[in-house]
Amino acid sequence: MNLKIEELAERIFHTKFALLGEREKKVARHLADRSHISRNVMKDYAEQLTLGQRLADKVAAFGGSWVFISIFAGVMITWVTLNSFILVRIHDSFDPYPYILLNLFLSMIAAIQAPIILMSQNRHAATDRQTAEHDYEVNLKAELEIMTLHEKLDTLREKQWSELMAMQQEQLKHLTQLVADVKKN
């Protein structure tokens, strides 16, 4: 194990590196290496999608659109109108009122569409969890970087303060010497 990472974990997390969680260890490694931790989680996840997952996303996106609702309403109105028109004119229709065949088709669409939409929502929830975990890592690293910068600034300020105090002591010594010299003359 890199000694720098161990020291960093002790200083920042106030615990041993081995006792840190996986995300904290990852952040500590990136912090010690001074490397980027951010990445495009959605792009990484999209590259791993199977054909079925991509299809489920497309079905869910279409099934939740105004285009789908408009087409669906148009088909329903056409179905009911045609069946009613044929029933009135010919006294026979292919799906008489209460439109049992239409209800069968609607039930089949719902039975197929619901699990597909649920699959898509489950995948989106998993993506959201990964994004949240990644955001936590990025935020933690940013917070730790800011803490480190504050420590550096505090160290610089203390060093400058000490140098200023030393300079002031030196100036006071010279002033005292000058005052003593003026009093002698």
Q: Write the pLDDT tens digit of every residue in 61-78.
A: 898 889 999 998 999 898
Query: Identity (one letter) of the amino acid at 110?
Result: A
Query: Dihedral, CA atoms, 87, 92, 94, 98, nearest 10 degrees?
Result: 60
Q: Write the pLDDT tens digit of every residue in 164-185.
A: 999 999 999 999 999 988 888 7
| DSSP for 74-104, written as a single string | HHHHHHHHHHHHHHHHHS--SS-TTTHHHHH
21 secondary structure, DSSP code: -
Q: Write the pLDDT tens digit of every residue in 122-142.
A: 888 988 998 998 898 889 888
Query: What does each C-alpha distance from 129 to 50, 123, 133 come to in angstroms?
Result: 19, 10, 6
Rg (CA), the chain: 36
Residue 1 has pLDDT above 80, yes or no: no
Mean pLDDT value of segment 153-164? 93
What mean pLDDT is reported for the chain? 86
Could you tell me the pTM of the whole model? 0.59
